[in-house]
Structure 1
Amino acid sequence: MPTGTSAPRSPQQRGGGFVPLDDPAFIPASAAAFLGDDELVLGYAQGGEARAYPVSMMFWHHIINDTVQGQPLLVTY
């Protein structure tokens, strides 16, 4: 994998049968009524910015390529 690449992005490189999620959109926690109170999430916080990645979403994508505070972040489960 080339330096600086967080996860394969082209169909030719994937080969694993799942599609990484790139640059996901986020909503406020107050708008996430579809998540139950006992829903498992992977959490990340940096510089006053917090993200929650639902594990149920990770079952489908396995890899999330995100950017937080200008820094690339790879999330996997």
Structure 2
Amino acid sequence: MSDANELAERVEAARLTLDAATAQLKTILSGGERLPRAEKVQVTDGLADAFTAVRNARDALGTLERVLASPAPDDE
């Protein structure tokens, strides 16, 4: 049962990471248009970081979902 709990915790951690990255991305996108041209370079770097975090979180969730969906190995 601890394996199932550990997986559930990992799924929740990945979901929290995804939520945080999504919020970060929305903040950067909404503020980016108001910035002077020179500062948009920093926004671009922030966007790249946010997209990477979202992609990593989605990948982690996908992996965990596949693990959870696969049949449990036979205990011998």
Q: The TM-score by the shorter chain falls in which range?
A: under 0.3
Q: Which has the higher strand share?
A: 1
Larger radius of gyration: 2
TM-score normalized with structure 1 length: 0.26
TM-score normalized with structure 2 length: 0.26
* Structure with more contact order per residue of length (Cα contacts < 8 Å, sep ≥ 6): 2
